Amino acid sequence: MTKIYLVKEKEKKILNFYPNVYKDDVFNVVGNVENGDIVDVVDKEGAFVGRGYVTANTSALVRLLTLDDEKIDSKFIFKKIEDAYIKRREVLKETNSFRGFYSEGDGIPGLIIDCFDKYISLQIRNSGLETLKDEIIKAIKKVYKPNGIYERSDVENRTIEGVEQKTGIIYGEIPQRVIMEDNHVKYSIDIVDGQKTGFFLDQRESRKFIKNYITKETRFLDVFSSSGGFSMRALKDGARTVTAIDKDSYALTLAQENYNLNECQGNFQLKEGDALMMLDTLISGGKKFDIITLDPPTMVKKRIDVKRGRDFFYDLCDKSFKLLEKNGILGVITCSYYMVLQDLIEVTRMAASKNKKRLEVIGVNYQPQDHPWILHVPETLYLKALWVKNS
């Protein structure tokens, strides 16, 4: 087996459960290295450190799978996927849909398994993991016994690595819609064409959080609504009016489906277009809202993008404060690892000061337990939500 020799003391972070061996960490390579190969990582003296697979076209040469001298085979893959499923049994009390496997958070970097009732949405996020794909599919069949598996490996990262994006049915059948039930709200899920792998499963805690503040008088504004995750929560809990903004017309079509599916009674308005422009239109129309959620798609994919991201969030908050009623609540949410909570706090505070708003922090929450945050792997924490009240 090929051996990857580490620069002196670089083994420390690996032994502290960090899964990426970067090319700059490597002192020497003994043997041939092909993308997807299983290799041993050793310290400068040749002592075993860990075992993983090669991702040759990225800055991370090796993604660690284990720190033990064990075989990477079908049994290994099955145990990883089974263990991750067992850990999530509590989540099934709240929903029939959840993230069954979360990449580094569950011990196989690059692997995403989302379960929507009896159907699986599978994502292989990097080129090196392709060599283990057959074993992964076999394990999914054994653990989940699904009616169908659909591949959603349509992520930009694959293109960057020089491999094609892949989508399509891998096993069984995939219906046009799957009905997800999440804390007594129903959602119509399109696994094939829906955003991400079909739905934003990671917002469960935020949807639960805001439920406590919705009344029959609430005027709710859901910015970057997608298929209406927050909108349906607000309507189900009796909000008087809900306005959903998104530039994706198909996402808004799904939001309307979800409105009908839940037999909601509140006034529901869909607005298609650029968020900042739509906010300006609402401001000029003299509109006011009691709760506003800002949950944009990630635009900060590299550290160099953080300033641009902060500026964008500042503009969103600035406009939102002009729409927020006295004692109203604003949720500012990022799904970017590089945008930290402190970034959200600072841009929200600056925008509030400009608008002479005094804010009380009423909550901070992160991704739910089926998206495990591993303390030793900072990248596993990506979703942060700051909730403030205009007091």
List of E strands, the chain: 3-6, 20-22, 26-30, 38-42, 48-54, 60-66, 97-102, 111-116, 119-124, 148-153, 166-172, 178-182, 185-189, 219-223, 241-246, 267-272, 289-294, 324-334, 359-366, 384-390
To the query of whether residue 264 is one of the catalytic residues in this protein, the response is: no
Q: Can you spell out the DSSP letters for 56-107?
A: TTSSEEEEEEESSS---SHHHHHHHHHHHHHHTGGGGGTBSEEEEEEHHHHT
**Furthest C-alpha separation in the chain:** 70
The closest of 155, 151, 217, 211 to 182, measured between CA atoms, is: 211
Scan for tokens 């041993």, then name that residue. 40
Assigned token pair, 123: 């994502």
Amino acid identity of residue 46, one-letter, is: G
Distance in angstroms (rounded) separating the CA atoms of residues 104 and 45? 27
Distance in angstroms (rounded) separating the CA atoms of residues 128 and 239? 47
> What residues are labeled active site?
335
